[in-house]
Chain A
Amino acid sequence: MATTVIPFGPQHPVLPEPIHLTLKVEDEIVKEAIPALGYVHRGLEKLCEIRDFHQMINVCERVCGICSMIHGTCYSETIEELMGIEVTDRAKLLRVIWSELHRSHSHLLWLGLFADAFGFEALFMQFWKIRERIMDINEATTGSRVIVSVNVIGGVRTDLSPEQIRWILSEIDIVEKEVKAIQNTLMNEYTVKARTVGIGVMTKEQAWELGAAGPTLRGSGVAQDMRQLGYGGYSFLDFEPVVETSGDSWARGMVRFREVLQSIDLVRQAIAKLPEGELAVKFKGNPPEGEAYHRVEQPRGECVYYIRGNGTKNLERLRIRTPTFANIPPLLAMLPECELADVPVIVLSIDPCISCTER
């Protein structure tokens, strides 16, 4: 059988992220996939050498728009760990509220794109319509729809008023109702299942060995979620990781779908437990010195920050390992022996964020 080499991406009609895959195909069956990155590489890690460690929050938030809040939180918590700063419980829970709003709008965005990838335009529009309510909450509470910029070293810069909290609760009630109304379509509709069930299967053992993260890991039956570490305000909240066991594209989609409902529950819990207190603690002393390693759970999975400070206002080293970076080796294992027509669905099933991957 002759082998055909097909370039997939970096610009592709169903792929919003500029990843390039060189696919070696025999009779429309993919035999090998080789990735190429670097189309949006910005050298953000290098910026820590010339930007003040306070300014780096804004840089880290721009690693990725969709999970900007969680990048900002992870960076801030790593610096706080280095400097021994104890953030107030109110600030911790406010971070959780915006983080979970980010997770739910990221998953709703992805669910829409996923529906688009297998040609279900009505479902795509439904998910994006629901997502708008979350974006409106972000805009009303922070002034920005995507990059909310609420983190500072030592806490947050923005508070929620009682009126805003009541409004958020009523909005997320509507989001929950509207998401549940689509649940049956996503879980049981024939066309959805035909394009996703049994497509891009990755076993539990493969997922673990290949270092998969987030819904890609949990979709293969591994109950691991960095929020279990209890970082920030998560230590005050009750939740169990969302797990599916079939390891296919459908399972990864269902993990994200159920996590939207979980995020709504976590926002409610965080609001119910929101205490009075300062938004940010003042701190004195030298800039960060030493090294710290911190992990958080982003919508796409485990995000790792490693920071080395040398006692000056500029960090010596900032290393960011984003979840998509971890999910590329599993993707390379999922693609061989799949049909060419299933490649967009499988690639989208890891929720690729190349902006994060390349930084």
Chain B
Amino acid sequence: MQGKVIDVTVDNVVGEVMNMKNDGQRLVTFSTYQEGDKIGILYHFDKNLETTHLRLLADMDKPIPSVSGVYFAALLVENEIRDQWNVEFDGLVLDFNRTLLLDPEVTQVPLVSNVKIEPKK
């Protein structure tokens, strides 16, 4: 994969993202994938057309620290991940609570097989 990849953990992801911001990096987006019962999140950054990725491998059933307090633009992609993977983000600045892309009555998480959730009241 093009660009430098740096591994991060749930404990230091916010700090590492803050370091990227202080370095003048633009947050491009996140990409996600599943690896066993874990979710992989790649935080893509850009500076002068050079790409850097932070790779986080985290438990799907535990909250992940939100970086929307560092980069406001992260709120949209974190809400999208919440919709599509049913992963929670701690400290999300605007939490759509799994209704950014999905209707409240949707019970099947799109990108995770066999995970049912209660419809929103």
A: residues with CB less than 8 A from B are: 34, 36-38, 41, 43, 45-46, 81, 208-211, 224, 226, 228-229, 290-295, 302, 304, 306, 308, 316-317, 319, 321, 325-326, 328-330, 333, 358
Do A34 and B71 have beta carbons less than 8 Å apart? no
Rounded to whole Å, the gap between the CB of B36 and the closest CB of chain A is 13
Rounded to whole Å, the gap between the CB of B62 and the closest CB of chain A is 21
Do A210 and B31 have beta carbons less than 8 Å apart? no
Q: Is B100 in the interface zone, CB < 8 Å from A?
A: yes
Measured between alpha carbons, how far is A295 from B50 in the docked complex, in Å? 11
Taken residue by residue from 74 to 91, chain B's Cβ proximity to chain A (1 for < 8 Å, 0 otherwise) reads as 011100000010000000
B: residues with CB less than 8 A from A are: 1-3, 21, 26-29, 31-34, 42, 44, 49, 51, 53, 71-73, 75-77, 84, 94, 99-103, 110-111
Do A293 and B51 have beta carbons less than 8 Å apart? yes
Measured between alpha carbons, how far is A139 from B11 in the docked complex, in Å? 54
Give the number of A-B contacts (CB < 8 Å): 86
Closest 4 CB pairs of A and B: A306-B31, A321-B29, A329-B73, A211-B73
Rounded to whole Å, the gap between the CB of B58 and the closest CB of chain A is 16
* A–B Cβ pairs within 8 angstroms, 26 of them: A37-B101, A43-B110, A45-B84, A46-B111, A209-B73, A211-B26, A211-B29, A226-B49, A293-B3, A293-B44, A293-B51, A293-B53, A295-B28, A304-B29, A304-B44, A306-B31, A316-B33, A317-B34, A321-B28, A321-B29, A326-B29, A329-B73, A329-B76, A330-B73, A333-B72, A358-B101
Tell which of A81, A306, A316, A325 touches B42, judged by Cβ atoms closer than 8 Å.
Answer: A306
Do B76 and A293 have beta carbons less than 8 Å apart? no
Rounded to whole Å, the gap between the CB of B104 and the closest CB of chain A is 10
Tell which of B2, B3, B75, B99 touches A329, judged by Cβ atoms closer than 8 Å.
Answer: B75
Rounded to whole Å, the gap between the CB of B72 and the closest CB of chain A is 6
Measured between alpha carbons, how far is A347 from B21 in the docked complex, in Å? 27
Tell which of B33, B44, B77, B101 touches A38, judged by Cβ atoms closer than 8 Å.
Answer: B101
Measured between alpha carbons, how far is A209 from B22 in the docked complex, in Å? 11
Do B101 and A229 have beta carbons less than 8 Å apart? no
Do A211 and B44 have beta carbons less than 8 Å apart? no
Residue of A nearest to B45 (CB): A211
Do A224 and B110 have beta carbons less than 8 Å apart? no
Do A41 and B101 have beta carbons less than 8 Å apart? yes
**Other 5 A-B pairs with CB < 8 A, given A45-B111, A293-B3:** A46-B110, A211-B26, A317-B31, A325-B77, A329-B73
Rounded to whole Å, the gap between the CB of A194 and the closest CB of chain B is 31
Which residues of chain B are near A292, meaning CB under 8 Å?
A: 1-2
Residue of A nearest to B25 (CB): A208
Which residues of chain B are near A81, meaning CB under 8 Å?
A: 2
Measured between alpha carbons, how far is A38 from B34 in the docked complex, in Å? 23
Interface centre among A211, A302, A308 (most CB of B within 10 A): A211
Rounded to whole Å, the gap between the CB of B109 and the closest CB of chain A is 11
Do A228 and B49 have beta carbons less than 8 Å apart? yes
Measured between alpha carbons, how far is A336 from B32 in the docked complex, in Å? 32
Measured between alpha carbons, how far is A290 from B65 in the docked complex, in Å? 27
Do B73 and A326 have beta carbons less than 8 Å apart? yes
Measured between alpha carbons, how far is A156 from B2 in the docked complex, in Å? 24
Which residues of chain A are near B99, meaning CB under 8 Å?
A: 38
Measured between alpha carbons, how far is A345 from B22 in the docked complex, in Å? 33
Residue of A nearest to B53 (CB): A293
Measured between alpha carbons, how far is A42 from B79 in the docked complex, in Å? 17
Which residues of chain B are near A208, meaning CB under 8 Å?
A: 26
Residue of B nearest to A327 (CB): B73
With A46-B111, A210-B73 given, is the CB distance from A293 to B100 under 8 Å?
no
Rounded to whole Å, the gap between the CB of A197 and the closest CB of chain B is 26
Which residues of chain B are near A319, meaning CB under 8 Å?
A: 31-33
Measured between alpha carbons, how far is A326 from B71 in the docked complex, in Å? 12
Which residues of chain B are near A210, meaning CB under 8 Å?
A: 72-73
Rounded to whole Å, the gap between the CB of A265 and the closest CB of chain B is 21
Residue of A nearest to B3 (CB): A293
Which residues of chain B are near A330, meaning CB under 8 Å?
A: 73
Which residues of chain B are near A36, meaning CB under 8 Å?
A: 100
